[in-house]
Amino acid sequence: MTNAPPLRDWRSFVIRLSAFVILCSPLCAFGHAIEYLTAKLTLLPDGVVRLEITADHASNPLIPDEAAALAALKNPLHLRSGEKWLPLSDFTVPKLDHHKDWSRCAPPNLPPPPPEAEHSLITATWQWQHPDDALIFTVPKGNMHDVFLWQPTQPDEGAAPRWMVLLAGDVTREIPVLPRRWPFWLLLVIPPALLLPWLLLRQMQKGAHANSRAKIPDFDSSQPQGNRHSHVPPNP
């Protein structure tokens, strides 16, 4: 008689199989994502990252109330820094917002929920200037809340939002952040800063040249042009 596999292994298998079917299907087949934490990732200039993670404690069967929603948002994702995985709270303190606007939480091409659907949403927003060139996220192992991570696109790009489903232990690919720009005030400061040493050196050279000329004695033009300071005795 063989031992039955642990229940958590079956749950992991079912979730991963469902995720495989979802990822191989159009986004419209995904449903309303109420059983996931939705994470909207926005990349801003100068390496700034904004991450908005939302929990629904009215429609998500794994989040029965507001306290459970707040607990789910405490440690939803980790971020790689060097060789370590750090919680989001190590980068910044999140801002919490209670609302019912589902359109803020999901891609625009995701079908809207039915009119009778009720949402009680809490969105935690982290925003920070990332010190590295890329982001790598993971859902901590043992976390029961899977994450629907998506990136909005600009209107001129014309592409559908990029998205992925992350289960506990999954790791994303590298997501490059936008490069940092030179601050405008540096463009005003750097040229004078480079020019100032040259002006000071030029002024010092002029001063040294003037001092050297001041040390040369003025000769009396009435003296003969020979050796003016030597005295030759008369011939005997």
Domains of the chain, by residue range, sit at: 30-176, 186-211
User: Per residue in 85-112, pLDDT tens?
Assistant: 999 999 999 999 999 998 888 887 777 6
Using DSSP bridges, classify how beta strands 37-44 and 147-151 pair: parallel, antiparallel or unpaired.
parallel
Residue 138 tokens read as: 């993971």
User: Per residue in 172-213, pLDDT tens?
Assistant: 999 999 987 666 555 566 667 666 677 777 777 776 666 666
Using DSSP bridges, classify how beta strands 37-44 and 78-81 pair: parallel, antiparallel or unpaired.
unpaired
b or e along 96-126 (b: 16 or more beta carbons within 10 Å of the residue's beta carbon)? eeeeeebeebbbeebeebeeeeebbbbbbbb
Amino acid 89: pLDDT: 94
Q: Which of residues 167 and 108 earns the better pLDDT score?
A: 167
User: Per residue in 138-154, pLDDT tens?
Assistant: 999 999 999 999 999 86
Residue type at position 235: N
Could you give phi then psi for residue 66, rounded to 5 degrees?
A: -65, -40
Q: How many CB atoms lie within 10 A of CB 82?
A: 8
pLDDT reading at 74 higher than 60: yes
Amino acid 24: pLDDT: 47
User: Per residue in 26-46, pLDDT tens?
Assistant: 444 444 556 889 999 999 999
State CA 215 to chain mean position distance.
64
pTM above 0.95, yes or no: no
